[in-house]
Amino acid sequence: MATIALEGARFYAYHGFYEEEQILGCEYIVDVFVEADVDAAAEEDDLFATVNYETLYLICQVEMRKPSQLIETVGQRIMTRISDMFPNIFGAKLCIRKMNPPLGGRVGSSSITFANGVFDLFQEG
């Protein structure tokens, strides 16, 4: 088993509750981790037998382009698409960071993290 990661994917998107966020947009950073059995892919040197991180990026890119009021909504869409595209994974973890959120003060980022399977946030240990 191995963790396949896509870290620091940057997108400019128009998510937010407030009208100015939807008009001006801002930068988002997305991290995705997928736990999968890569033995067959490694033995056969076969990209199609593993989780292709280019596909992970494209899933994130497509979903980040769809404006939503909440990054929770975007995150849920990404997690669903990953599970649908790679049904044999053991789990996925996703973090979406909204850079410099408009909160009236200096804030580096706000974020939401989703996890399922082996990455379940509420798992003991």
State both tokens at 125: 């240990």
Choosing from 15, 93, 97, 98, the catalytic residue is 98
| DSSP assignment of the chain | -EEEEEEEEEEEE---SSHHHHHH-EEEEEEEEEEE--HHHHHHT-GGGS--HHHHHHHHHHHHTS--S-HHHHHHHHHHHHHHH-TT-SEEEEEEEEES--SSS--SEEEEEEEEETT-TT---
Is 66 known to be catalytic?
Answer: no
- Whether the Cβ atoms of residue 60 and residue 11 lie closer than 8 Å to each other: yes
Residue numbers annotated as active site: 98
